[in-house]
């Protein structure tokens, strides 16, 4: 495994923390995009064109972050230790 048996609790807690921080950070970014498009206080059904523009912006932002993550992961290289 990736961690020793005695460290499984800490590894699980770190993984859960990173997952929750990622979810919260994503919601912050979505809220920011909605506010940029003027939909901060309005229901999404009130302005369907603005909602679609905001949705497009969210897709573009998160697609860019995914591509950045791919390149950073490739730049890191393999972490396997030589046997």
- Average pLDDT value over all residues in the chain: 87
Q: What pLDDT does residue 82 have?
A: 46
- Determine whether 71 is exposed, middle or buried from the number of CB atoms within 10 Å of its CB (0-12, 13-18, 19+): exposed
Q: What pLDDT is stored for residue 81 in this prediction?
A: 58
Segment 37-48 shows an average pLDDT of 77
Q: How confident is the model at residue 44 (pLDDT cuts 50, 70, 90)?
A: low
Tell me the C-alpha distance between 67 and 77, whole Å. 16
């Amino acid at each position: 495994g990736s961690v020793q048996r005695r460290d499984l609790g800490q590894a699980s807690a770190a993984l859960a923390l990173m997952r929750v921080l990622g979810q919260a950070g994503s919601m912050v970014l979505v809220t920011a995009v909605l506010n940029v498009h003027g939909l901060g206080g309005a229901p999404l059904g009130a302005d369907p064109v603005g909602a679609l523009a905001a949705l497009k912006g969210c897709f573009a932002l998160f697609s860019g972050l995914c591509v950045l993550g791919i390149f950073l992961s490739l730049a890191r290289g393999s972490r396997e230790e030589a046997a």
